[in-house]
Amino acid sequence: VRAVIPLVAGMMEMPMGRFLFANIFSALAWAPAYLLPGMAFGASLELASEVALRLVILLVALVSSLWFLGWLSHRLFSLIQPHSKQLVQWLLRFGERHPRLQHIALALGDPKHPEAAGLAMLAGLLVLSSIILIIIALLPQTPLLIADSALHLGLNELANPAGDQIMLGLSALAGSSTTLAMLIVVSLVLWLSGLKLSMHHWLAGAGSIWLLSIVLESVLRQSPPLITAIPDIYVLRASVFFSLGAVLIATPIAYEKRWTIYSAATLLIVMVMFAQLYLGSPLTAVLHALGGGVIWSTALGMAYRTHGRQQKLAGRQAAIIGTTLLLLAFASAVSVQTPPPAPGLLEVQGSMSLKQWEHGDWQKLPLYRDDVLDNQKHPLNLQIGGSLTSFTQKLEQLGWTRTQTATGLAWLQLLTTSDDLAQLPLLPHSHAGQMAFSVLSKPVAGRRHVIYLWPSHFIAEENGQPIWLGEVTFQHEKHWLGLLSYLVSSNDRQSALEALKKDIDESGWHYRMAKGRELMLLHPSPD
């Protein structure tokens, strides 16, 4: 395209000075606009691949879903919005032809008709429909159950601790305490602004769903098998709270621009849906919640548009409500903590004596981090046939420290521009879907010497302890455009092992090199 610009400028007899000014500044704007998104995406993939390839695939799937459904919501809005008046008229005519449903149609489309009775009737119909769906969902071998099994088999292959942390955070966008805070704060904003009708619609729509979610949560505690049939409470809250919030926020915005608000709400709902599916929520429960939530929020939104014409939100109130919803949601998301890994939960596959292990059985243990397609990139170059506590204490006497990897708000430290490596958190590494149980690090000449440790599935017969698997590596700092700094592992694992040998010699432990001196077998004393 840019090659054609001089031709067009010449055809228009554009002065040289004006052309150069416009062309140079447009090029300066074009370069970051087109290149930065790709560079940022590449940096994020490199950062994620350092942690786990599973995480890369999971993030690509999440971003693809968000992009597609955000685009779809925009297209649907563009398709439906011009026909909104005809839709209201159709509802009124439908009510005239079906007297039993007339209250619902008039509540949604006639500003002169009281809406409480119609909305109550609609709520009753939704509850009845939900009961029917629960019965259908409990039937064996339905197509949805087969699709659910296939979906969760795929998601289980992508499971990893960093992904768990992200998905727990996304799920918390619609947590119980978060949505309660949203309900109270938005109600107060509307009440203090004198918008009582808007407050009544918000309380009727969001408040009723919040109470329903508490009831459903109690039912699930009493009858866990119903989890496949009862609507997912997180998706239910997300679909109603974010949809009704979007209706309120979009009120002062021009019709043709409202799609941005509705698309943003769609993205938030999709984030919660994706997280719940990843965390194990059945597909039937998610679709049940999404369908009921969208129908309920659409009905409340139509009723609000019909009956609230004389009491509209101003831009200031809409901005406060939007900011409140986003701040509460994301503050809850970033504060989520995952439980620490526990070796006692690992499945034991067998046992071996330390002599057998040192003389060949070490080959039964994984030699690379198990990470989907990338299992040859990160070697597990250390095996420990002894007490992890004793090993850690010996290294601590030699300057090593037990180190926490980045979790929650600690990820924000990657934004630091300091050259002090101690300021940067270590990135978490995963093996076979498990985060490292213990991490040791030591500063070494502008780098960090790091050991990530996982318990294996084999037990040493002499002490009943798991044989530990370790990844020994040097990590150095990497910068991205002066905005992001993070530690990445060096490809020279041999140097990291050689440096560790010096500390092992001082510790009194015994080691033997195997696999062409690429693997260190370590235990407290010689046999």
pLDDT in tens, 470-523: 999 998 877 766 566 777 788 888 888 888 988 888 888 888 888 888 888 888
Residue 155 has pLDDT above 70, yes or no: yes
Return the amino acid letter for 526.
P
The C-alpha atoms of residue 256 and residue 84 are separated, in whole angstroms, by 13
Cα–Cα distance for residue pair 281/187, rounded to 1 Å: 30
Contact 422, 443 (CB under 8 A): yes
For residue 510, the cross-strand partners are: 523
Give 419's strand partners: none
User: Is residue 98's pLDDT more than 50?
Assistant: yes
CA–CA dist 450, 473 (Å, integer): 5
pTM (two decimals): 0.64
Query: What are 300-314's pLDDT values in tens digits?
Result: 777 776 655 666 777
Question: What is the mean predicted confidence (pLDDT) over 351-377?
Answer: 81
Q: Is the pLDDT of residue 109 over 50?
A: no
Contacts of 315 (CB under 8 A, 6+ apart): 252
CB-based burial, 397-420: b 16+ in 10 Å, e otherwise: eeebeebebbbeeeeeebeeeeee
User: What is the dihedral sign for C-alpha 346, 350, 355, 360?
Assistant: negative
What is the H or E stretch that residue 153 is in? helix 143-157
Looking only at the bridges linking them, the beta strands covering 350-352 and 447-460 are: parallel
DSSP codes of every residue in 468-485: EEEEEEEEEEEEETTTEE
Q: Which of 322, 281, 431 is nearest to 370 (CA)?
A: 431
Beta bridge partners of 206: none
Comparing CA positions, the residue from 43, 76, 77, 48 lying closest to residue 61 is: 48
Which residues are CB-neighbours of 211 under 8 A, at least 6 positions away? Answer: none
Q: Which helix (H) or strand (E) holds 434?
A: strand 434-435
Q: What is the pLDDT of residues 190-205, one digit of tens each?
A: 888 888 888 888 888 8
Greatest mean pLDDT among 27-31, 201-205, 417-421, 426-430 lies in: 201-205
216 Cβ neighbours under 8 A, 6+ residues apart: 230, 231, 233, 236
In this prediction, residue 65 has a pLDDT band, given cuts at 50, 70 and 90, of confident
**pLDDT value, residue 110:** 47
